[in-house]
């Protein structure tokens, strides 16, 4: 039996964020606050926040090293999907 590969720190963090975004969208909210947990890879955290900040319809406000507020424009987001 093949051993399953454990998701990378980036993948686990991305999945958690995707879940938070989906829950917010269900409530017609377009802002989430993210927290970096102790077990999260700081490099993966920075990479994901940098990727979000490259999107025209997303704003990222970092609050220290372990918290960030993500806000997006739903109309612009739908236009690019």
Largest Cα–Cα distance in the chain? 46
> Residue 1: its pLDDT value, please?
55
Neighbours of 80 (CB within 10 A): 8
Look at residue 48 and tell me if it is in a domain.
yes
22 within some domain: no
Residue of 78, 35, 77 lying closest to 55 (CA atoms): 77
Question: 16-68 pLDDT, tens per residue?
Answer: 999 999 999 999 999 999 999 999 999 999 999 999 999 999 999 999 999 99
Structurally, the chain folds into a number of domains equal to 1
The reported pLDDT for the residue numbered 52 is: 94
pLDDT, residue 77, reads 76
21 part of a folded domain: no
pTM across the whole model? 0.82
């Amino acid at each position: 039996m093949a051993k399953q590969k454990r998701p990378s720190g980036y993948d686990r963090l991305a999945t958690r964020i995707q879940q938070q975004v989906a829950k917010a969208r269900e409530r017609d909210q377009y802002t989430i606050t993210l927290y970096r947990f102790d077990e999260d890879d700081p490099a993966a955290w920075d990479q994901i926040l940098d990727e979000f900040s490259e999107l025209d319809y997303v704003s990222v406000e970092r609050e220290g090293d372990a918290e960030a507020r993500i806000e997006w424009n739903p109309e612009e987001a739908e236009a690019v999907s």
